[in-house]
Chain A
Amino acid sequence: MATTTAPSSAHRAEAPSQVKHRPDRSYRRRQRWGWFFVAPFAVIFLTFLILPLVFAFRMSLFTSTLATGTRFVGADNYLKAFTDPIFLEGLGTVARFALIMIPAQMIVALLAALVLDNLATWASKFSRLMIFIPYAVPVVIGALMWGFLYSPRFGPASSIFGLFGLAAPEFLAQDNIFGSLVNIVTWQWAGYYMIIIYAALRGIDPGIYEAAVLDGASDRQIAWRIKIPMISSSMVMVVIFALIGTLQFFTEPQVLRGVAQGAIPTSYTPNMYAFSLAFSYSQFNYASAISFALGIVVFVFSFLFLFLTRKQSGLK
């Protein structure tokens, strides 16, 4: 990554100095064409990302309650958000998910990638596809499907456990919902992360393995001492993806709430809280503030993580 961006930024650094010395007309015309080609993207980017963000931020600085009108309150909504027990509880929930779910996905993805990297048969191609397929299922469909699989009436659990004379666990009960959600997310995303890690593994020069084998390294040692350290930057990227996704956890619990309204309250995760505030309780202003507050938390944690792993990721 770093090696490819370095030369291009060097080019860019050259360009302005050129302009300074001789204001070339063709250069300026080229630049105008550049803007022309960037424009379609820029317009869409501004219209559908930047402007809504600015608009939402502006909304978050106002308050409007049911009984009184709208008025400007500055940062009050943010102060309220970071002392709001419901929001903080939601953050606690996603933090617990992050602690359990991210390692679970990493372990599954890494093991699968390492195993597939060592195999070179048709079975490995087939398995790779099979492990990746859950990611191709839309998240909402996947969650709906698991809702049925977890259902005591339609799901297979009661008949499977019944074979051993056991009662099936209630996957959608308050005590089990956490594990049920971890399972859905791991099922869906492990394959995706596996592909990223696998691609990184394929990028390692096989000569290194040969050298290691000559030095008497076992397969396990190669995996542990060579492969994993060499793909650490990909691992960091994967964890960042998972971290951001987990902090913004929304779709799976929102869909599963349809069959477990008691176990998954409307404010289960911060994102769900923002959603219900805006669309169920029409508190659009406070919902904007909650969304930005969540954005701040995501930014802080991602930054912190990248800072702590700067050595592994090669960012330094």
Chain B
Amino acid sequence: MKAKFLASAGIVAATAVALTGCSGGNGSGGGGGSEAASCTNTIVNAEAPQVTVWAWYPAFNEVVDQFNNANDDVQICWTNAGQGNDEYTKFSTSIESGSGAPDVIQLESEVLPSFTIRDALVDLTEYGADDVKDNYAEGAWEDASSGDSVYAIPVDGGPMGMLYRQDLFDAAGIEVPATWEEFEVAAQKLKDSGNGAVIADFPTNGRAFNQALFAQAGSVPFDYDSANPQEIGIEVNDEGAKKVLEYWNGLVKDGLVATDDAFTADYNTKLVDGSYAVYLAAAWGPGYLQGLSDADPDAIWRAAPLPQWDAADPVQVNWGGSTFAVTEQASDKELSARVAMEIFGSDEQMNLGIDKGALFPSYAPVLESEEFANKEYEFFGGQQINKDVFLDAAAGYEGATFSPFQNYAYDQLTVQIYAMVQGEKDAGQALDDLQASLEQYATEQGFTLK
């Protein structure tokens, strides 16, 4: 009996040693040549060092091919590791395990602090990020930096505007609303016209969308600097946020807006079949809209600026937008930083992203070009939506600060807004409860509240 026990214990020990041996060996490796086999794209110059990249941009394969053809001293090995949270989950797990992360990774700017606090991203100022600073829109650069450090290179932005159904507006005799007050009047008018549509959807799982609407009324939910990572200021229940949420709760109660979950099959259909007359969208919204099926063939879409709280003092906000960051696991950080800066860091590369991927660039030479401003969009009946709406919105955006536990904050926001929509509490209470839950979470996580 004892011998058997010892034998099995021996096997356990041997396997344990073997396993830890493996993980130790891989940990220092990171990306590089060993993972070349898993590239989605074909490597043009097999001799050149490779940099692994995770990204989910539409038509990104063409961007990668163009890059690889143009560079013989470095090659991108691209993998689509999922969109948004799917990718972050994988990244997060590989940070925890110490291996498996790519060299360069696409991250939305709102999640950057969540990864910098885990020491997962490289400060790019050491690798010349400051030299390209002027090439990027100010707000986007601000979103990618924290204090003096720069943790990512901006790629695309999400300045917000209002996409609306001209045909439904005309049928109900509605003028395009310029303020939220007019928006409510329009909503009532649309409801009274009795065609069954509501003016818009206010999804309880809107996450960044809801937060952007709050920001428009001056809400600054977080005060955080990665140079001082153990301190955080939380104020999600300020006057601005309460004003906005009360406004929407009023519309919900009056049956003027829907409260369907966003990004479900139902929601996608309703966006284009005339159930909603307005899609409050970011600059990537038109691309999203065009990709949806079951569209109403008679739909006439137009774009207008986002309604304002004070028409005399317009505030521009941003929803989404992504960047390229270099991970701490990257084997050659300098080369990886170069790739992060150059993937979309030239007119040819960026234009490909715009034409094929419907990106709204943060790259200034393209963003500020005549060509981009004058681009006519067939989907909008030839309207120059960049000039009319999104360029102003992008220019007016000053950046935002996100928390190092943004995913948790958004999940809690969903819980509270859902409770409000269910009639369990009013807007003020919902935000106060959100504040309490986030303060508790931050304290539990070892932060000092500012």
Contacts and interface: CB of A to CB of B under 8 A. Distances in A.
Interface of A: 16, 35, 42-43, 46-47, 50-51, 65-68, 148, 151-154, 174, 258-263, 265-266, 276, 279-282, 284
Contacts of B79: none
Question: Which 3 A/B pairs are nearest by Cβ-Cβ distance?
Answer: A262-B418, A67-B446, A68-B446
Q: B95, B229, B230, B261: which has the most chain A beta carbons within 10 Å?
A: B261
Contact of B445 (A16, A50, A65, A151): A65
Chain B, interface residues (CB within 8 Å), range: 35 or more
5 contacts: A46-B11, A67-B445, A153-B265, A261-B261, A262-B415
A262 B421 contact: yes
Given A66-B445, A66-B446, A265-B415, A259 B264 contact: yes
A74 B4 CA distance: 31
A259 B204 CA distance: 12
Contact of A66 (B1, B404, B448): B404
Q: A47, A148, A280: which has the most chain B beta carbons within 10 Å?
A: A280
Contacts of A261: 204-205, 261, 414, 418
B11 A43 contact: yes
* SS of A interface (majority): loop
B446 A260 contact: no
Interface string B364-408: 000000000000000000000000000000000000000011011
B7 A47 contact: no
A71 B411 CA distance: 27
B19 A51 contact: yes
Contacts of A284: 96
B38 interface: no
B118 A262 contact: no
Interface string B83-94: 001000100110
Contacts of B229: 67
Contacts of B415: 262, 265
A256 B1 CA distance: 50
B265 A46 contact: no
Given A47-B19, A66-B447, A280-B89, A42 B264 contact: no
Nearest to B207: A261
A151 B264 CA distance: 10
A44 B175 CA distance: 68
B266 A262 contact: no
B223 to A, nearest CB: 15
Contacts of A16: 1
B47 interface: no
B11 A260 contact: no
Contacts of A282: 92, 95-96, 114, 118
Contacts of B414: 261-262, 265
B230 A280 contact: no
Contacts of A43: 11, 15
Contacts, number: 92
A42 B15 CA distance: 10
B12 A46 contact: yes
B93 A279 contact: yes
B149 interface: no
B422 interface: yes
B269 interface: yes
Contact of A280 (B118, B264, B411): B411
B242 interface: no
B265 A151 contact: yes
A259 B8 CA distance: 48
A315 B117 CA distance: 54
B447 A153 contact: no
Interface string B414-450: 1101100110000000000000000000001111100
Nearest to B410: A280
A91 B269 CA distance: 36
A16 B1 CA distance: 9
A272 to B, nearest CB: 12
A50 B12 contact: yes
Contact of B264 (A46, A47, A258, A266): A258
A124 B372 CA distance: 68
Interface in B106-127: 114, 117-118
Given A43-B11, A46-B11, A51-B16, A148 B205 contact: no
A174 B93 contact: no
Q: B117, B421, B446: which has the most chain A beta carbons within 10 Å?
A: B446
Nearest to B229: A67
B270 to A, nearest CB: 7
Given A46-B12, A281-B407, 6 more contacts: A66-B446, A66-B447, A67-B117, A68-B230, A259-B265, A261-B418
Nearest to A63: B446
Contacts of A154: 265-266, 269
Contacts of B445: 65-67
A51 B261 contact: no
Contacts of A280: 85, 89, 407-408, 411
A200 B413 CA distance: 51
Contacts of B8: 42
B19 A65 contact: no
A154 to B, nearest CB: 7
Contact of B11 (A42, A148, A262): A42
A14 to B, nearest CB: 15
Contacts of B85: 280
A59 to B, nearest CB: 10
Nearest to A148: B265
Interface in B247-264: 261, 264
Contacts of B421: 262
B96 A67 contact: no
Nearest to A281: B408
B266 A153 contact: yes
A282 B117 CA distance: 11
Contacts of B12: 46, 50-51
Contact of A266 (B7, B411, B417, B444): B411
B25 to A, nearest CB: 17
A287 to B, nearest CB: 11
Interface in B57-112: 85, 89, 92-93, 95-96
B436 to A, nearest CB: 13
A311 to B, nearest CB: 33
Contact of A174 (B1, B89, B408, B422): B422
B17 to A, nearest CB: 11
A238 to B, nearest CB: 33
B205 A262 contact: yes
A281 B405 contact: yes
